[in-house]
Chains A and B, each alone.
Chain A
């Protein structure tokens, strides 16, 4: 493989990986706090992309304002999902909440088919994002594939700042250690959980919006596969760990792109890589690359 082609693949992998990482952070935060796989997370990702589309088409908002509205709207939806479908099940067996999240996920998808119709839609992309840049070495890249990772990393840094340097972040980390003790310390646990859902959903929406720019077609089921894969990325990095989710997302992006790049005959199996990887990682190191071991309490 020639160097220019490799550089192009590298940027594609970086873009895909950072988009996975943004979604994976939401999974890992919710899992860290509630021990719940939030299946509806991938659908919040889809809603983010659709909200931009509708904010431009119906509200006639400028592009940047539409993105802002979409992120706020999607994070509101994330909080709503928690309040309606997970909060009443806090004291129920954990699997009940998991089934509830599968139900919510299908509900959002099908509601999206009814409301948005199942027809794939093309999204607006500013020209400067998709004008191919040709470097002298023969490398041809889209500005998008550089900008998406940069924005993603900025968002991740903001998130890390919130989680590790602010009071709500401290409360979040405390809840993930021990929810009851945190409640006794006078932390309003429900508010912090809602805050976590809002934060995770905002990142998922941002990822969905950038996904729609990169692969410029949106449809109601678009969140499902990226959602599963991002969850796998979270497991890969060690579920519950935010840096782990970032590493896992990037790793998964690189594995997917590079495997297809080096072994084109495997491209039909692309969607299976992540799942094979999941089963392997669960067998070898279930705690993931950077996760802490969860003790089984008797």
Chain B
């Protein structure tokens, strides 16, 4: 029985991936650039929200430092894929210093390097800061992200300062983004469903009890935070290549806010919830752009209101947290087993 169900789930997962690939292939042929851009943003936003969900939803560490890790990933991978000629052209204030000026890597390696660099910084910041708990951790990680941004603004010989990097090759197409998304989902599902994941959830639910059970909570928290920052770096690297231009202003606190919004809306501690919210919130953010455009209804002319988009967006986060704190999915998962109702709870995730 057990074996059979596993086999079924495996086949269904393969079919789902195949369906996704087919859908992407179809979209590439039939959608215009704007729609494809939104699809790309969905993938990247979901990667980012998943990594935050691992840190916050599954391990209970309130981190507000996502924008900082994204910045590290974005700058690292961009420096590796920028053509040498472009590097010479855009560094006006200070020339790019030596190792970065000659380093080149294929896109996959560059993104991976971005993730690893973010993970390295994540580890370095986690070692001291994770001794703190709760909201102190939030404010310390927020501080870390601000430090990264200020430093990026100042080390012009690496980051080109406030001018940012322009003309980053746009390798991040649908295949790369959704490939990385699948990899992220796969890794995080495996982590969450493993014994390691059980320890993380135990820490989230009651840290003191977890410690009493003999779990080295500090070590688990550091590892979880490092993995989370790795995927945040991946997301940042992909975003840089998708937008082809980055500067320190891009990584303000608002960036973290958007990611947090997706994780909270989807349900903290739910992977499928995050995926659903990743789609919905990215759509919402794009759809809300129309609010700022002028609308003409017959003889009525409603002028566009600049800034209204973010007002509605932040209001919707408030409404979610006030009236539906658990988000779309709560801590539940949408799995093949829950769809077919063979068992009331849990099991392999889709």
Contacts and interface: CB of A to CB of B under 8 A. Distances in A.
A118 B318 contact: no
B325 A269 contact: no
Interface string B310-337: 1101110110011001000000000000
Contacts of A89: 321-322
A114 B151 contact: no
A176 B153 CA distance: 41
13 contacts: A95-B62, A102-B317, A104-B314, A104-B318, A111-B311, A232-B139, A268-B154, A272-B151, A274-B143, A275-B146, A276-B147, A282-B132, A282-B136
B17 interface: no
A228 B153 CA distance: 19
B307 interface: yes
Interface of B: 62, 128-129, 131-132, 134-136, 138-140, 142-144, 146-147, 150-151, 153-154, 208, 253-254, 257, 260, 264, 305-308, 310-311, 313-315, 317-318, 321-322, 325
A286 B130 CA distance: 12
B143 A296 contact: no
A106 B314 CA distance: 6
Contacts of B128: 279, 283
A106 B254 contact: yes
A90 B147 CA distance: 32
Interface of A: 35-37, 85, 88-89, 92, 94-96, 98-100, 102-104, 106-107, 110-111, 113-114, 118, 224, 228, 231-232, 235, 268-269, 271-272, 274-276, 278-279, 282-283, 286, 296, 298
Contacts of B62: 95, 98
B134 A279 contact: no
Contacts of A235: 136, 139
Contacts of B264: 99
Contacts of A100: 318, 321-322
**CB-CB nearest 3 A-B residue pairs:** A275-B143, A113-B307, A106-B314
Contact of B318 (A95, A103, A278, A282): A103
Given A114-B306, A298-B208, A231 B322 contact: no
A291 B146 CA distance: 25
B149 to A, nearest CB: 8
A98 to B, nearest CB: 6
Contacts of B311: 107, 110-111, 114
Given A103-B318, A104-B318, A268-B154, A37 B138 contact: yes
